[in-house]
Amino acid sequence: MHRAAADNLSCHLVTGGLLPRTGNRSGGLASLQVGNTKWRGYTGNLSSRHRPLRLPQRRPIFLLGRYCASVDETEIQEGLAIVQRQLASRTVRAGEDELFKARAKEQGRVKLIDIIKARLDAKNDCFVAELPSVRLNDVRIADELVHTHDRMLTGGFYAELDLTYDPSIAEEKSGRPFGIESLREIQLSKRDVLETLCKGRIMFTFNEWRDLLLRSVGLEPSVLEDRTCDVMLLRMVPFVENNYNAVELGPRGTGKSHLYQQVSPYAHLVSGGRATVAKMFVNNANGQRGLVCQYDVVCFDEVSGISFDQKDGVNIMKGYMESGEFSRGKESIRAFGGIVMVGNFEVDVEHQQRIGHLLGPLPPEMRDDTAFMDRIHAYIPGWSVPKVNREQLTEHFGLVSDFLSSCWNHLRSQSRVNKLQGRILFGGALSGRDTSAAQKTMSGLLKLMFPDPEADIPNDAIEWAAKLALECRRRVKEQQKRIGAAEFRNTHFSFIMIPDGMEQFVSTPELHSENNIGGDPLPAGQVWAMSPGCTDENPGLFRIEVSQGPGSGVKILNQSPPGPLKESVRCAVQNLYARSKELVGDRDPRSHEFTIQFRAFDACKSAAATGIPILIAMSSALVERNLEGGLVIVGGLNLGGSIEPIYNAVSIIELAADKGAQTILMPVSSRKQLFELPDELATKVTVVYYADAKDALLKALSE
């Protein structure tokens, strides 16, 4: 962020990482400026050492934001003392409502902290206020106050109030002796929050804004890995996207329910997972709407315990997750609340995959229902978040949770799907539901990072969102594949950024091992290769990575490459130059510079007789085409283009099967050696033969 902006920034900040000014204690509200945009709100430091108050949570947070808006320890302690005094004298505790009303009668006025709501009294053409703590629902209030603080008409907000009492009005019939003379908001009191957020966002880079969001929910991004930061942003998507359904499972103590319980008042946590159809959807007896109508997000804690009081409760929820509607008699009711289910693994994720699938902790009526799984837009990997500890808690500044959650609520009426049109194309493995789910996740992530609907979204941000969205949706698909393999067998999710045209495949990390050949296609220019070894070496697995750019020549990145490796590269390069027309068409390999890197996964280091895999990797990089997934390539090449024979084909296939290969591409001359191939190997690996380099390339390229 620009230094000048950082020096002026103080917005709606509470614990999160920029340099705010000291709060204005006399006026109560701290004001900060970003460029020409003034962010008016509440500042304060809520680091772990400044949380001694055992009081209802929201009130201290906003008061701390007002009086502790400083990085100076002395000023913070002074602010804490003020907050404690005000809370002690102005908070209405249980059973003290009549005491405060009596004080107002005796003294003519009393100061208190309460949530204030207002409604229009159409009969008398005026507004009346409601103060829940003192059980008053007909308090006089001036029209100007209501219009200035219009949020009291949409749920209310906390404020310091001057409550007055007029005995002359008390003597009137239907008189309203209590009145509000003035108020000082300690919580957000206006609804025009999103415009403020959008103007402030302009002054931040992508990473700075991500850090501010994370600090706003109490986490310190500088001690978290990028992967963890991405998962935390995924947890925020249900707050900004209508009817968004997600599952998060993982170890205990990673803060899975924190956002839904502590950060946003627009979310409701169903503890233990137990609910009734009437509470969740609609009460048929009185027509009262349920949680999905009242909240933006309904989160089921302890997903294994999800249950309803009626047998068809899960089916009602399944129908709602699909369409966003449910029925009350003949009436169809539309709601926008998302469904989030969080829970714990009793074992680590690798063991969970061995004993079942990653949705195993769900209750029986959900865990094996592929139709129910299809309604889940994203499976968030809770195992990518470490257990919460004190080091992860931020001691910087961030957006006040009330301001942030209100902005999130306003973002739900927008969409960023229109920003994707003409810029990204999803691969053929995605069904209609897969595409819709990925688009919703991408829209949510982009709204979080670019709250202004008119903002330009760069391609790298769209690519970042696409990888996360496809990974989370593919994780759902992989669990469906384990239950109904035939219907969901194609899980190779991919996308193409337009106009680049390069297809990128997205995998789920828990299914991928660096030491094994996965089923997903590698990026263009990368191949799995098997060296048959030499006189003193056994066969070995290699991953060859080739990149190309303007220039000429070939560079091997490995330090001190062995002689057989350099010879294989030399043969591959000469064959590519000599046969470029039939291999790569009109692309001229001599006008490109190639960089080649070998990664060995076994004791074999020589990479002898790997000319064909190197040639295919270079050709793949030039034509920008991926190879088939799960494929390993075997074969040596001489300068004249002839394929070198292989004498240990069975040993090579045994190693390929151990490494997880699904298909092995071998010279046709090795076919006779495989007549006695054991049945166990023959059923594990498909052997495809090639006659020459061109034949090998055509069979290796992904369709």
Mean pLDDT across the chain: 85
What is the pLDDT averaged over residues 248-268?
Answer: 88
pLDDT > 90? residue 603: no
With beta carbons less than 8 A apart as the criterion, state whether 43 and 21 touch.
Answer: yes
Query: Does 382 score more than 50 pLDDT?
Result: yes
Distance CA 159, CA 141 (A): 14
How far apart (Å, rounded) are the C-alpha atoms in residues 664 and 191?
62
> What was the pLDDT predicted at 432?
93
Nearest to 541 by CA among 527, 525, 562: 527
Structure tokens at 142: 């001036």
Of residues 62, 48, 67, 125, the one with CA closest to residue 91: 62
Q: Which residues pair with 634 in a beta bridge?
A: 530
Q: Is the pLDDT of residue 608 over 80?
A: yes
Backbone angles phi, psi at 72, to 5 degrees: -90, 125
428 to each of 343, 435, 471, how far by Cα in Å? 32, 10, 15
Predicted confidence at residue 273, as pLDDT, reads 67
HEC states along 67-129?
A: HECCCCHHHHHHHHHHHHHHHHHHECCCCCHHHHHHHHHHHCEEEEEEEEEEEEECCCCEEEE
Check pLDDT > 90 for residue 418.
Answer: yes
**Residue 34 pLDDT > 50:** no
β-partners of residue 503 are: 496
Instruction: Quickly state the pLDDT bin for 573 (edges 50, 70, 90).
Output: very high
C-alpha of 657 from chain center: 35
Sheet with 246-250, edge to edge strand ranges:
267-270, 297-300, 338-344, 246-250, 378-381
DSSP for 351-418, written as a single string: HHHHHS-TTTTS-HHHHT-HHHHHT--EEEEGGGSPPP-GGGB--S--B-HHHHHHHHHHHTT---GG
Q: What's the residue count for the chain?
A: 703
Q: What is residue 507's predicted lDDT score, i.e. its pLDDT?
A: 86
CA distance 552 to 532: 30
Q: What is the pLDDT of residue 62?
A: 63
More confident residue, 602 or 330: 602
Question: According to the model, what pLDDT value does residue 66 have?
Answer: 67
Tell me the sheet residues that pair with 379: 247
Q: How many Cβ atoms from other residues are within 10 Å of residue 184's Cβ? A: 15
Nearest to 68 by CA among 49, 55, 54: 49
Instruction: Select the more confidently predicted residue: 539 or 32.
Output: 539
Question: Residue for token digits 């409550």?
Answer: 163
What is the per-residue pLDDT across 152-197, written as a single tens digit (0 to 9) for each? Answer: 887 788 888 999 999 999 888 888 999 999 998 876 666 678 888 9
d(CA 334, CA 294): 12
- Contact at 8 Å (CB) between 540 and 602? yes
Mean pLDDT along residues 386-397: 88
Check whether 509 has a pLDDT greater than 90: no
* β-strands 307-308, 274-275 pairing: parallel
3-class state of residue 141 by DSSP: strand
Q: What angle do CA 511, 517, 518 make, to 5 degrees?
A: 35
Residue 538 belongs to what H/E stretch?
A: none
pLDDT for res 547: 93
- pLDDT the model gives residue 87: 79
pLDDT band at 354 (very low <50, low <70, confident <90, very high): low
Residues 140-146: contacts with CB under 8 Å, at least 24 apart? 140/169, 140/176, 140/178, 140/179, 140/180, 141/179, 141/180, 142/180, 145/180, 145/182, 145/183, 146/118
Q: What is the 3-state secondary structure (H, E, C) of 310-330?
A: CCCHHHHHHHHHHHCEEEECC
Could you tell me the two tokens for 557?
A: 């990145």
C-alpha span between 359 and 366 (Å, rounded): 9
Distance between CA atoms of residues 272 and 307, nearest Å: 9
Distances (CA, A) of 234 to 47, 197, 202, 436, 440: 24, 20, 22, 16, 11
- Start-to-end Cα distance in the chain: 45
Q: How far is CA 466 from the centre of its chain?
A: 11
597 to each of 443, 560, 618, 632, how far by Cα in Å? 37, 12, 11, 17
Which of the two residues, 556 and 350, has the higher pLDDT score? 556
Instruction: Tell me the C-alpha distance between 615 and 573, whole Å.
Output: 7
Whole-angstrom distance, CA of residue 393 vs CA of residue 17? 12
Q: Can you tell me the distance from the alpha carbon of 609 to that of 637, in angstroms, rounded to the nearest whole number?
A: 7
Backbone φ and ψ of 194, nearest 5°: -65, -35
Directed axis angle between helix 611-623 and helix 563-578, to 10°? 50
Residue 470 has pLDDT above 90, yes or no: yes
Place of tokens 């997600």: 246
From start to end of 219-323, where are the E strands?
246-250, 267-270, 274-275, 297-300, 307-308
Q: What is the pLDDT of residue 580?
A: 94
Segment 564-577 mean pLDDT: 95
pLDDT at 350: 73
More reliable by pLDDT, 660 or 377: 377
Q: If you write DSSP's letter for every residue of 178-225 in order, what string do you get?
A: EEEEEEEESS---STHHHHHHHHHTTS-HHHHHHHHHHHTTB-GGGS-
Which pLDDT belongs to residue 35?
Answer: 36
The answer, yes or no, to whether residue 457 has pLDDT greater than 90, is yes
How crowded is residue 454: how many other Cβ atoms within 10 Å of its Cβ? 6
Quickly state the pLDDT bin for 88 (edges 50, 70, 90): confident
**Residue position matching structure tokens 């499976």:** 379
pLDDT single digits (tens) 108-128: 999 998 889 999 999 989 999
Cα-trace Rg, the chain? 32
DSSP 260: I
pLDDT at 512: 67
Residue 180 main-chain phi, psi, to 5 deg:
-105, 115
With bands split at pLDDT 50, 70 and 90, how would you rate the model's confidence at 522?
confident
In three-state secondary structure terms, 628 is coil
Q: Whose structure tokens read 């209100």?
A: 406
CB neighbour list of residue 144: distance below 8 Å, 6 or more residues apart: none
User: What does each C-alpha distance from 426 to 378, 502, 503, 660 come to in angstroms?
Assistant: 16, 12, 9, 27
Residue 306 predicted with pLDDT over 70:
yes
